[in-house]
Amino acid sequence: MAQFTGYENWRAFTSAGTQIVTEDIKETKAKPAIKFYVKWLLTGAAVILLSIVVLALLKKTDNHIKIGKVSFSSKPVTSGLPNTVIFQYDATDSNADSVFIQQSWDTRQRFKVDKQLHEYTSTYYVPGYYKAKLILNDSVVKQNDVYIETDGWVGLIETKPIPIYLPKSVFENKRQMGITEKVLAHQKIDFSQELPVFTLTNVDKGIDLSSENFLLDAELQNTFNDNSKGICRETHIAVLGTEGLIDIPLCKSGCVGEIGIMLGMKYINGKTINLSGLGVDFERPVKVHCEAKNGRIKIFVNGNTGYEDEFRQNIGRIVGFRITFRGTGVLNSFDCRKS
């Protein structure tokens, strides 16, 4: 019978049985010890997990930026365009992990700098007024005025990343400022693939007009005739201030649903507001008159009311102007003065 169950003889069979019983007894005695061990293992894991959560919460609570003595200043190295600005900064007294300098409102122009250093240079290619920012982690802690001024009016073709600067002899004469398609071709600027954007800019912090009370008069004309690209003949008159800008758009009447007015931080969308008063045919020069007074702003186009609105939140001091033609255009006259 022992051999039938797979053992050599009876003695081998009984010896195997004894070993099985012995192992069962040992296993039975070990079960309470195993349960005790597992219990303490789970308790220890819970304590460790709770500690991690508490430490994370404490770290989050203590994640406030400690600014300390932080300094930030700037200075252009020259006049004209392009212009490099030297930023002096000191953020060593803060607890920030990362330090950034941002050229303007545009977050794409944000650059990480070394916290232990104190100088960084940044190049500006377009004239204007900018509020540069010193950023610790994700908090703006300092701002600095940057003026990229011009010597009178400058003309440029907007291209990325660097615009094409035009000599005064190309865009300015005794009667007007501007360019034609013939001028573009003569300057070897290819506008067959993409619509050119021609800009006239004058930035001077000495202008120093209040945006609360001013009068602006301009006579201009978009002269681009390629209807396959610039059929709307979109044109903008912008007043640059230390606290924002006023942007007055003009276009062909059929395109007024695609434009919008900017009044400081307020945007008036042509898709939801009737801006038909800013539609023109541009077959002849257009006269634009803008006046701001007593918390209101009025825009007249060829003597007719183009738009009128409240203007409670002004744009600070006026420091410059920008005329932009999608395509080509001319500016016959321009004047801005105190009302």
* pLDDT mean over 141-152: 94
Closest CA to 249 of 239, 261, 233, 265: 261
**DSSP tag of 64:** -
* Distances in whole angstroms, Cα of residue 298 to Cα of each of 215, 309, 337: 10, 7, 15
Q: Return phi, psi of residue 36, to 5°.
A: -60, -40
Residue 151 has pLDDT above 60, yes or no: yes
Residue 20 has pLDDT above 90, yes or no: no
Closest CA to 260 of 252, 272, 245: 272
Q: Is 213 exposed, middle or buried (CB count within 10 Å of its CB: 0-12, 13-18, 19+)? A: middle
- Which of the residue ranges 3-7, 200-204, 319-323 would you say has the lowest mean pLDDT? 3-7
Is 337 in contact with 215 (CB distance < 8 Å)? yes
Q: What is the pLDDT of residue 195?
A: 87
- Percent above pLDDT 70 for the chain: 82
Q: What is the pLDDT of residues 304-326, one digit of tens each?
A: 999 999 998 899 999 999 999 99
Q: Return phi, psi of residue 338, to 5°.
A: -70, 140
Angle at 27 between CA 25 and CA 33, to 5 degrees: 120
Radius of gyration of the CA atoms of the chain, in A: 36
Q: Is 315 exposed, middle or buried (CB count within 10 Å of its CB: 0-12, 13-18, 19+)? A: buried
Closest CA to 87 of 108, 71, 98: 71
- Separation of alpha carbons 231 and 224, rounded Å: 8
Q: What is the pLDDT of residue 11?
A: 58
Kindly indicate the confidence band of residue 60, based on its pLDDT and cuts at 50, 70 and 90: very low
- Separation of alpha carbons 28 and 253, rounded Å: 94
